[in-house]
Structure 1
Amino acid sequence: MTIIGIFGCTALLITGFGMRDSINGIIDNQYLKITHYDVVGIYDPNASQTEKDNYQKQVNDIKTVKKQDNIYYGSVTTRPQGTISNQQISMMVPQHEQGFDDFLTLRDFSDHKKLKLQGHGAVITEKLAKLGHYQVGDHLDLTDSSGHSYRIKISGISEMYVGHDVILDSSYYHKVFGKQVVYNAKILDLKDRSANNIDQVSRKLNSQTAAVTAVQSNQAKMAINTILHGLNNIVWIIVIASSALSFVVLFTLTNINVSERTRELATLRVLGFYQRETVMYIYRETAILMLLGILVGFSGGYYLHHFIMETLPPNNALADMTLRWSNLGLSAGLTLLFSLIVMLIMVQKIRKIDMLGALNSAD
């Protein structure tokens, strides 16, 4: 019972702390290591040359723009096998492939090696690949806003935690869609990445006649922060509940152990055992069982955390499955702390044992 109780407590503690760190890991990995652009300003490529020049002039006049480039940005849909609804996909075709890494880092989801756009396939993001069980070399059917379907070959699967993206080079775009790419957006990397500055830049771009819309990369970040705020409350509930479970299990079982062995403990005291030795006689067993429970709880917490973070995120988000060593240490440390508190309580109970009455009691 001690092993099972401590196993449940440790597993829940690891899961609670791991859920919080996994959501935090989405923000750290997505917006520090992968997504470097802040705004994609989409304009009408059929606008007059004057209107497009004014749009470009507005981009050049924004002092906080650190880097900019032309891309094609469009929205397509697909329905991966096994899903019941269409998935919205952002399709991007950069004009300059060499500098595109400054805006979006494409790296393999398994070994983090950088991916290059190739003329015989497209790069899709990890969550989309998991939804459809796609692998490199498979084909993916895309449907544009006009209802036309196109089939692309997957040349790489890129690490991505938020949203579905498909990235092609201009030659493969021409091969699939049968037309030359027409760049319709400006991708911007800003010096000031605060939400206020991104909003200001978006408003300036949308004020132009040729503007269609402005896509902000931090929109998903704000949604994740909202989820994280609510998740913190859930984490605290899990931590408090699992801590109470640990304390109740240790106290109840240790109390039963002491109560049923008062005659044995009294005999030890009469034979000359010190108070500390008598306490450790009982507590040594509890400590061994508790350590076994913690070790088993490590594996249980790992699989429970992995299961929850696989099923919790929506179809367009992917959780960071990394379980930090600090989570394991903190969970074990809290369990050991409760064990120490129980031991101090039991010291007082053992000290108050009536040795004469215990020795005269019937077995």
Structure 2
Amino acid sequence: VQVGDNIKMTLDSKTVNVNVSGISEMYAGHFVYMTATYYQELTGQAQAKNSYLVRLKNGSSKGIRKVAANFLALAGVAGVSQNTSLIKQVETVSSSLNSVMLILIVLSVLLAVVILYNLTNINVAERIRELSTIKVLGFHNKEVTLYIYRETISLSIIGIVLGLLGGYGLHQAILNIIGSDNIMFNPSVALYVYLVPIFAIVLILAILGWLVNHNLRKVDMLEALKSVE
């Protein structure tokens, strides 16, 4: 349904066509708002209040159940609708998703460590003679390390950019899939959600860079330059 469309509603046992003048996002439940004048225009009679919105000072589950039972015991009360059950449902789903996301984050960090570590080790092993040559020619240890580590840093930066863009789109798609007719999850995320993975990758790169530099210092460059034969 878009703004300007008509939808059918039942008001006072009468089916009417209601024009949609605006749409609001509801994260839990559905509500329709209309003015008293438009209600009278649709039904031909004045709007009569038949319900009350009650906010309790004691918002605990026990207090809500007690007050709801007292309301239902009154002859003039036809029913009581509680928002707490819907809120609990949202909180339960969110808690389950947080547990799954935590596992995925830990696995992603471990995968990043394995990939970057193996990529760097393979790069060093395949180009050890090349590294030995530039080391013998007088390059400093840091220059020798950066000779191959620049490639890892560049690939990591590209991966961070693509990962953030892809992660944003995947996040929106997942929220649309797991949402139901009565629940919509907030699509906005805090800034730290993007900063934490960037910091994690930078930290991994820094630690691996130190390890590569330390290992290259111990390699016998002259021995590596000897012919295999």
State whether TM-score is above 0.5.
Answer: yes
Counterpart of 2:75 in structure 1 is 209
The aligned counterpart of 1:183 is 49
Contact 1:263 1:361 in 2 (8 A): no
Q: For 2:18 and 2:109, how far apart are their aligned partners in 1?
A: 52
AA partner of residue 253 (structure 1):
L
Decide which of 244, 255, 267 is 2:121's aligned counterpart.
255
| Residues 14-93 of structure 1 mapped to structure 2, 5 A cutoff | none
* 1:135 counterpart = 2:41: no
More strand by share: 1
**Counterpart-to-counterpart distance in 2, 1:145 and 1:262:** 84
Q: Specify every segment of 5 or more residues in structure 2 that has no aligned partner in the other structure, as ranges.
A: none
* Structure 1 runs not aligned, ≥5 long: 1-133
Paired residue for 1:306?
172
Whether 1:268 aligns to 2:99 is no
Taking structure 1 as reference, are residues 145 and 270 closer, same or farther at Cα in structure 2, changes over 3 Å only? farther
Q: Does 1:335 align with 2:207?
A: no
Give the residue type in structure 2 aligned to 1:270. Answer: V
1:221-269 per-position Cα deviation (integer Å, ceiling 9, x unaligned): 1111111221111101210221122112211111111111111211232
Larger-gyration structure (1/2) = 2
Q: Quick check: 1:302–1:323 contact (8 Å CA) kept in 2?
A: no
* 2: CA distance, partners of 1:136 / 1:222: 31
Q: TM-score, normalised to structure 1's length?
A: 0.58
Which range moves more in the overlay, 187-196 or 201-210?
Answer: 187-196
| Whole-angstrom CA distance in 1 between matches of 2:220 and 2:90 | 60
Q: In structure 2, how many angstroms separate the alpha carbons of the residues matched to 1:298 and 1:145? A: 51
State the SS of the aligned residue for 1:186: coil
Q: CA deviation at 1:144?
A: 6.8
1:224 equivalent in structure 2? 90
**Counterpart in the other structure of 1:95:** none
Look up the match of 2:188.
322
**Which has the higher relative contact order, 1 or 2, with Cα contacts under 8 A spaced 6 or more apart?**
1
Distance in 1, matches of 2:109 and 2:202, equals 11
Distance 1:280 1:293 in 2: 19
2:32 to 158, 166, 176: 166
* Residues 206 and 212, structure 1, Cα contact 8 Å, conserved in 2: yes
1:242 counterpart residue number = 108
Measured against aligned partners, the alpha-carbon deviations of 1:136-161 in whole angstroms (never above 9, x if no partner) come to 22111225796x63211112212321
Residue 289 of structure 1 corresponds to: 155
Q: Kindly indicate which of the two structures has a greater share of residues assigned to helix.
A: 2
List per-residue Cα deviations over 1:152-199 (Å, max 9, x = no partner).
111221232111111222332233234443322221133343333333
Alpha-carbon RMSD: 2.3
The aligned amino acid for 1:310 is N
Q: Is the 8 A contact 2:11 2:43 kept in 1?
A: no
Distance 2:72 2:227 in 1: 89
What is the SS of the residue equivalent to 1:142? strand
TM-score, normalization by structure 2: 0.88
Q: Is the 8 A contact 2:36 2:46 kept in 1?
A: yes
- Asked if 1 retains the 8 angstrom alpha-carbon contact of 2:90 and 2:183, the reply is no
Among 5, 18, 21, which residue is 1:152 paired with? 18
Kindly report structure 1 stretches of 4+ aligned residues shifted beyond 6 Å: none
Aligned positions, number: 229
Aligned to 1:61: none
Query: Which stretch shows the higher mean deviation, 221-230 or 193-202?
Result: 193-202
Matched residues in 2 for 1:200 and 1:271: separation?
84
**Matched position secondary structure for 2:3:** coil
